[in-house]
A and B are shown apart, each in its own frame.
Chain A
Amino acid sequence: MFGTVRAVDGVDLAVGDGEFFTLLGPSGCGKTTLLRMIAGFCELDAGEIKFGDRRIDRLPAHTRDIGMVFQNYAVFPNLTVAGNVAYGLKARRVSGAELARRVEEALGLVQLAGYGERWPHQLSGGQLQRVAIARALVIRPQVLLFDEPLSNLDARLRVSMRSEIRDLQKSLGITAIYVTHDQEEAMSVSDRIALMQSGRLEQVGPPAEIYRNPTSRFAAEFMGTTNLVEARALGGDRAGLVSLRPEALRLAADAPADWPQVGGKVAHVEVLGPITRFDVRLADGSLLKVATLDAPHLTPAPGAEVTLAYDPARITVLP
């Protein structure tokens, strides 16, 4: 399958067959609208959406053959778990032994084998989202849409569920379009990410590429933490804004000798466990955020004068 999307505001996207594609951006960036346009719940004023060669944007939503997983699960409270999973199959006139077999198979895929007779109000949030995923998978849709499916779950469950979703999607080979505002979640599950802002595409590419080579200030800041500094403050001779990730900075004592150095005063220290974060104020008054792996003998004290070194290969020049 190959889909072309042109929506919201001059958005032109092609999602590959079997790809895990994520729409990422702050709230109000248009990512959910774009997803709902694909699902058929929002109208396009212009442009088109295709599944392969088939244009779908004028089809009613219920004929588009899409599986959708909602933020608030949207599990039908008046049906059992099995009834929920069977719902789309019955709409497709699947019945009898095949219906039962496919429902049980789908519940097995989401670790809910044997839960068929339970009612939704007897399940936890994580289980409800599994039911919603099974319900969307079982109809073998052409494309699976996820609308912030993990945002109602607690932090620990979110992390385990996201890798489960990714594994499931890869093993079934269904094309997935996933919406989230959480960049870490997006990076962990996606083959490619489309970073959006104000209804426009900021940058499209594999997660590592967007993280390492952001093409805009917004992309650099939204994908994780970064230092946006004037190139001159780092001692270079170029003018303009550069992005330097906190983990590309180290104390000079701990860095290769050929890395450029810059001096400053430690303003604030946070020991977070595996990593230590600290801010260093440079001579020109700008603040550099530094993140290092926990190393007791190298933890600076607030107020100390330190010399930092940075990896010159990891400086990104922004337009």
Chain B
Amino acid sequence: MRLAIPHQQRLPLAIAALGFLFLGLFLLYPLFNVFSASVLDGEGEKFTFANYVKILGRPFYRGAVVNTLAIGLAATITTILVAVPLAFALARLPVPGKAAIIALAAMPLVLPSFVSAYAIVLLLGRAGVVTQWLQSWGIGFGSIYGAGGIVLVYTLTLYPYVLLPTMAAFKAVDVSVEEAAQSLGSSPRRTLWTVTLPIVIPAILAGGLLVFIETLENFGVPFVLAEDMPIFAVEAFKLFVGETAPNPSSAGVLGVLLIAMTSLVLLIQRRFLASRRFATGARAAPPILRVGLGLRVAASVYCWLVVLLALVPFFAIVVLSFMEFRGPVLHPNFSLANFAALFERSMRPLLNTLLFATLAAIGVTLVGVPIAYVVTRLRSGLASLLDVVATLPFAVAGTVLAIGFVVSFNSGWLILTGGPLIMVLVYTVRKVPFAVRSSSAILHQIDPSLEEASISLGRSPLQTFGRILVPLMLGGILSGFVLTWVTIASELSATVVLYSGQWRTLTVVMFQALEGGGGGIATAAASTLIIVTLVPITLLYRLVRRYELAT
């Protein structure tokens, strides 16, 4: 055996080394520090399990575990109940305006969920517009605060996670399997229950698990709606901000527990779902079913209703941002006063949001695309390990990663706290899994023989990467960039831990206005955020459409 590294593996191995270096320093090291904070005493000197005993000994935090899991489970079930019929209708029933419905249905994925939560408060809260209007008619309803409201907002904002994969799965069902069932004497209804649904169940569960993990990690929605109800991500933040001892042991404990919960869910997913794939390899999407007028109308109304209902809160925020707030009470005097108040103070939050999102999206692309290259092209255990490490941020709540960064980089040889770089780095690390996933999906579509052809024609592996792979991936990289950009622009959970002084973002302004009750500025910031999100998405959508038309 030769000890020298084979030529064709040098580039992937070099990238893997850089990838491990980056993720080691900015992911594993901060997480290790969260863990060590949780097992050291208040001075950070002695090893102890007392923190765990202390936290788990208090009913308040045990309640937080139960609440978080129960709300997550409930939201997962409701999203599945809402999204699966929607997916079926969009894949198999004659519904008018499908393209528009699908485009609108994807919107909640990029719009900030805590804005939706805030809109729900403004509409249905104690002093809400709808609440007061109904009260004037003598109609009352239950409180929107607490578990019910949180599950509602999660359902409205997270249902696309189930809808999109399930719709794809319904479209991938080979129609001849259904025809086989019917030729064996099964009625269409029985075929749906015994053949079609079982085939798409893995897709439903995969989407459902994404929803579950999102709810565990979400900070903004419970922050707005939970009130006194303890929720994990919020309590970790409060403990960290409130902790006075040098070692943030209590926040560390909550962080470790939160990571443990999400990792467990991810492990379950890998273990049970990875082996269950019932792809039937359909060559064409199954035909639209012929159904009666009644079902057609019902399906159409349902589709449009769900999609629009999910967007109502965002629409409402934009409208409300032009209204006058006197304390918590709204007055229908339309003006730009709220925006003036927001931007008169400073343009910096808006500029910071744009700057950070751009820098972090560049960072995510530069880290994620090469890692995806290694993961798809290098056949070795090292590549699988890199894949696992690069997926890890998905299991780490933003709050927890941010706490790890503060603990790791507030002293010593690398001090980042108080500056803008720490925020850009945390955003980058958080979004790396998404870039790796989407880039690997594209790379799997690119035949490796294209690279071999380029190399055999005299281009080195590095030149081949730049001249063949990057141009071929460009469309995918660009849409990935835009999606990353917009989700970073509305990032809240890590931002609230990390921001400082002049480096506040729009989400921080909104967060502070919520705490201080400044409804006008909060809605103006939320509206600005929605516009900042929608403009690039619309541009991307039009670009993709034009590209599809051209080819």
Contacts and interface: CB of A to CB of B under 8 A. Distances in A.
Interface stretch (A71-79, A161-169, A271-279): A71-79
Interface stretch (B173-181, B198-206, B458-466, B509-517): B458-466
B1 A62 contact: no
A74 B447 contact: yes
B460 A68 contact: no
B453 A43 contact: no
B7 A40 contact: yes
A58 B156 CA distance: 59
Interface residues of B, number: 25
B461 A62 contact: yes
Nearest to B446: A77
A67 interface: yes
A87 interface: yes
A76 to B, nearest CB: 6
Interface in A132-176: 132, 135-136, 139, 145
Interface in B409-450: 447, 449-450
Nearest to A65: B458
Nearest to A87: B457
A16 interface: no
A125 to B, nearest CB: 14
Interface in A41-93: 41, 43, 45, 58-68, 70-72, 74-78, 87-88, 91-92
Given A40-B8, A45-B1, A74 B453 contact: yes
A91 B458 contact: yes
A77 B458 contact: no
B454 interface: yes
B207 to A, nearest CB: 32
A66 B454 CA distance: 11
Contacts of A136: 456-457
A135 B460 CA distance: 17
Contact of A61 (B2, B8, B447): B8
Contacts of B455: 40-41, 61-62
B330 to A, nearest CB: 54
A277 to B, nearest CB: 36
A137 B66 CA distance: 69
B452 to A, nearest CB: 6
Given A60-B7, A61-B8, A76-B468, A87 B454 contact: yes
Contact of A68 (B4, B453, B459, B464): B453
Contacts of A177: none
Q: Which of A40, A45, A75 has the most CB of B within 10 A?
A: A40
B460 A62 contact: yes
Nearest to A78: B471
B472 interface: yes
A173 to B, nearest CB: 20
Contacts, number: 79
Contacts of A309: none
B4 to A, nearest CB: 8
A45 B449 CA distance: 23
B458 A76 contact: no
Given A45-B1, A62-B461, A77 B453 contact: no
A45 B454 contact: no
A73 to B, nearest CB: 8
A39 interface: yes
Nearest to B7: A60
B6 interface: yes
Contacts of A70: 449, 452-453
A162 B459 CA distance: 28
A67 B456 contact: yes
B355 to A, nearest CB: 32
Q: Which of A61, A66, A71, A76 has the most CB of B within 10 A?
A: A61
A74 B449 contact: yes
Given A92-B458, A139-B458, A41 B8 contact: yes
Contacts of A61: 7-8, 452, 455-456
B453 A76 contact: yes
A68 B456 contact: yes
A60 B457 contact: no
Contacts of A62: 455-461, 464
A41 B401 CA distance: 41
B227 to A, nearest CB: 55
B452 A41 contact: yes
B450 to A, nearest CB: 5
Interface in B1-60: 1-2, 4, 6-8
Contact of B452 (A39, A87, A88, A121): A39
Contact of B460 (A43, A60, A72, A121): A60
Nearest to B474: A78
Contacts of A64: 456
A39 B551 CA distance: 34
Q: Which of B454, B457, B459 has the most CB of A within 10 A?
A: B457
Given A62-B460, A68-B452, A78 B7 contact: no
Interface in A108-149: 121, 132, 135-136, 139, 145
A302 to B, nearest CB: 38
A68 B449 CA distance: 10
Contacts of B7: 40, 59-61
Contacts of A78: 468, 471-472
A72 B472 contact: no
B101 to A, nearest CB: 31
A40 B456 CA distance: 8
Contact of A74 (B452, B458, B461, B463): B452
A21 to B, nearest CB: 18
Contacts of A145: 456
Given A58-B4, A62-B456, 8 more contacts: A41-B8, A61-B455, A62-B464, A64-B456, A87-B457, A91-B463, A135-B457, A139-B458
> Which 4 A-B pairs have CB atoms at the shortest separation, nearest pair first?
A88-B457, A91-B458, A60-B7, A74-B453
19 contacts: A40-B7, A43-B2, A58-B4, A60-B460, A61-B8, A62-B455, A62-B456, A62-B459, A65-B458, A67-B456, A68-B456, A77-B472, A87-B459, A121-B551, A132-B453, A135-B453, A135-B457, A139-B458, A145-B456
Interface of A: 39-41, 43, 45, 58-68, 70-72, 74-78, 87-88, 91-92, 121, 132, 135-136, 139, 145
